[in-house]
Amino acid sequence: MNKLIPLALLTAMLLAPQASLQATDVPRPAGKPNIIFILADDVSARDLSCYGGPVQMPVLDRLARQGVQFNNAWSAPLCGPSRAMLHTGKYPHHQGYYENAVSPSLAFYDDPRHLPLLRMAKTAGYVTGMFGKMHFGNDPRKYGADVHCVLRYWKGFDGPSYAPSGGREGMYGVSWYWHPGEILNGVGLPTTADDFGPDIELQQLLKFIEANKERPFMAYWPSNLPHMERNPKTGYRTFAYTAVPELDANGVRTGRKVAGSLAATMGYLDFLIGRVQGRLQQLGLAENTVVIFAADNGTANGDKGSYERDYALRVPFVVSGGPVKPRGPSAPLVDFTDIWPTVAELAGYKGGLNTDGHSFAPYLLGQPFTPRTTIQMAMNNARWLRDQDWLLDGRGHFFDLRGVTKQADYKDVSEVSASDVVAARQRFELLLKELPLPDENDPLTRSAWEKFRATPKGKPVKIFKPEYLK
């Protein structure tokens, strides 16, 4: 049977410098729950079992039953803009992240106009950890992470690069999965071809939880799963789902692998989430820990990056544990700008909010709650907008959502001139005036827009408008 972590890696973990984590002499402030935010990479709500999809996730199903399953939650259409929204609590027109290829020259964690999520939690008295995918930048400390185990190249790493060029820069400079490039608190971790990145990140997350069981902590766990990896058989120019470790009935690795698929990768992530839940229960922390699970955008099967309907936007979003009241499937509209103010309220943050989001903490806690009337999103020159009954998608198509939940069943009324449709569409047109189109001459993003517009994918989207709006 393969060992989960080789001796060299364990030695490196023990020798790596650690942030000051132990604080057993610091009493836990009343009313401050621990917070664990788990972010899956590339999976739509409609693919998962708790939303009626085919991919079985029994641990997440249980969390959804015991907590809140938001049925109308939006991310951005692509991973970079979603993460910018998550960390700033702001829409693209307030932070500049409109596309994976369009981001400001001054990153959100260097821009004094923004207070990143983990830095806000630190201000509220939390010790913070980050485990897995950074996406932007090379220094998790700028995000506000006291402790980190992230994927980046380090001098001495001898594993593969995911970049077709073999380059070592950015998130494709190392393998994420087998023989991963991991850095623990600034020190590279030696790994082998038998080591699986998500397992290493989980182990560090569990150590972080145990080290901080006596004080409030926030753990941010942006897993790469189920994001496809670059396929070495094609010179890392195409993507395929990674194989995952095979487990026996006791959850122990057999030394074999399960072929990669969306079901296999999400099933393994579900197993890892179960490991976290088990450790929380062992430590007596489950009753004081809020677990949030979401995904950054739709599945890479045509949903991700799509302008159609809300295929790219509608993601799983489950909150459970600690003081969260069990509500099960829930209708309130939420989007990724809401994460920042919700965490701020749960954490007891006393500073200014400076966010576009709307805290749903009262809903989680069973308190009086006024839900959003609309949620919105933007990418390229496209804008999405929806309320409980209507959806305007990124191509300007208008849909009647009344009485339906499946995206395929949304009724396209783009060219319908019935009075109720016209009234709703005209109301949306007024709301769009409060959702600015990107300023492509903004000094922070002008160069990025110019490069993006010069690519085949960078063409502006043709937006449909019905005759009654022309």
- pLDDT, tens only, 307-321: 999 999 999 999 999
- Percent with pLDDT over 90 in the chain: 89
CA distance readout (Å), 181 to 40, 77, 174, 195, 398? 19, 27, 5, 10, 45
Q: Hey, what long-range contacts does 24-32 have (CB within 8 A, 24 or more apart)? A: 24/214, 26/214, 26/215, 28/214, 28/215, 28/216, 29/125, 29/216, 29/348, 31/348, 32/124, 32/125, 32/126, 32/216, 32/347, 32/348
pLDDT at residue 18 tops 60? no
What integer pLDDT is reported at residue 371 of this predicted model?
95
- pLDDT, tens only, 89-148: 999 999 999 999 999 999 999 999 999 999 999 999 999 999 999 999 999 999 999 999
- pLDDT, tens only, 64-78: 999 999 999 999 999
Instruction: For residue 458, give the DSSP letter.
Output: G
Which residue intervals of 212-261 are DSSP H helices? none
* Residue indicated by tokens 């959850």: 251
Which tokens in the block code for residue 73? 């939650």
Q: How far is it, in rounded angstroms, from Cα 317 to Cα 386?
A: 17
Q: How far is it, in rounded angstroms, from Cα 291 to Cα 90?
A: 22
Q: How far is it, in rounded angstroms, from Cα 25 to Cα 400?
A: 57
Q: Which CATH number fits domain 7-20+31-372: 3.30.2290.10, 3.30.43.10, 3.40.720.10, 3.40.50.720?
A: 3.40.720.10
Q: How far is it, in rounded angstroms, from Cα 105 to Cα 94?
A: 14
pLDDT band at residue 237 using 50, 70 and 90 as cut-offs:
confident
pLDDT at residue 227 tops 80? yes
Mean pLDDT of 349-368: 94
pLDDT band at residue 29 using 50, 70 and 90 as cut-offs:
low
Q: How far is it, in rounded angstroms, from Cα 67 to Cα 317?
A: 11
**In sequence order, what are the residues at sequence separation of 6 or more whose Cβ sits closer than 8 angstroms to the Cβ of residue 370?**
none
What integer pLDDT is reported at residue 304 of this predicted model?
96
Mean pLDDT of 18-29: 42
pLDDT band at residue 4 using 50, 70 and 90 as cut-offs:
very low
Least confident span in 1-5, 26-30, 80-84, 245-249: 1-5
Q: What residue segments make up the domains of the chain, in order of their start?
A: 7-20+31-372
What integer pLDDT is reported at residue 405 of this predicted model?
86
pLDDT at residue 10 tops 70? no
Q: How far is it, in rounded angstroms, from Cα 296 to Cα 315?
A: 7
Which tokens in the block code for residue 218? 């926030």
Q: How far is it, in rounded angstroms, from Cα 318 to Cα 176?
A: 25
pLDDT band at residue 19 using 50, 70 and 90 as cut-offs:
very low
What integer pLDDT is reported at residue 11 of this predicted model?
30
Estimate to the nearest angstrom the gap between the alpha carbon of 126 and the chain centroid: 20
Beta bridge partners of 294: 39, 317
pLDDT band at residue 12 using 50, 70 and 90 as cut-offs:
very low
pLDDT band at residue 422 using 50, 70 and 90 as cut-offs:
very high
CA distance readout (Å), 132 to 40, 201, 264, 323, 423? 10, 6, 19, 27, 46
Q: How far is it, in rounded angstroms, from Cα 316 to Cα 75?
A: 9
Is the model's pTM score more than 0.85? yes
Name the burial class of residue 162, with classes exposed (0-12), middle (13-18) and buried (19+) by CB atoms within 10 angstroms of its CB: buried
What integer pLDDT is reported at residue 28 of this predicted model?
54
Q: In what order do the strands lie in the sheet with 390-392?
A: 375-379, 382-386, 390-392, 398-400, 411-412
Least confident span in 35-39, 135-139, 142-146, 215-219: 135-139
Give backbone dihedrals phi and psi of 457, rounded to 5 degrees, phi first. Answer: -80, -5
Which tokens in the block code for residue 436? 């600015």
Q: In what order do the strands lie in the sheet with 217-222?
A: 187-189, 182-184, 147-151, 127-132, 217-222, 34-40, 289-295, 317-320, 68-74, 328-335
pLDDT at residue 23 tops 60? no
What integer pLDDT is reported at residue 25 of this predicted model?
39
What integer pLDDT is reported at residue 426 of this predicted model?
97
Q: How far is it, in rounded angstroms, from Cα 243 to Cα 326?
A: 35
Q: How far is it, in rounded angstroms, from Cα 89 to Cα 38?
A: 17
Mean per-residue pLDDT over the chain, rounded: 92
pLDDT band at residue 31 using 50, 70 and 90 as cut-offs:
confident
Which residue intervals of 136-235 are DSSP H helices? 140-143, 197-211
Q: How far is it, in rounded angstroms, from Cα 217 to Cα 205?
A: 11
Mean pLDDT of 366-392: 96
Strand, helix or coil for residue 405: coil
Name the burial class of residue 463, with classes exposed (0-12), middle (13-18) and buried (19+) by CB atoms within 10 angstroms of its CB: middle
CA distance readout (Å), 91 to 104, 119, 338, 377, 438? 13, 19, 10, 7, 11
- pLDDT, tens only, 262-287: 999 999 999 999 999 999 999 999 99
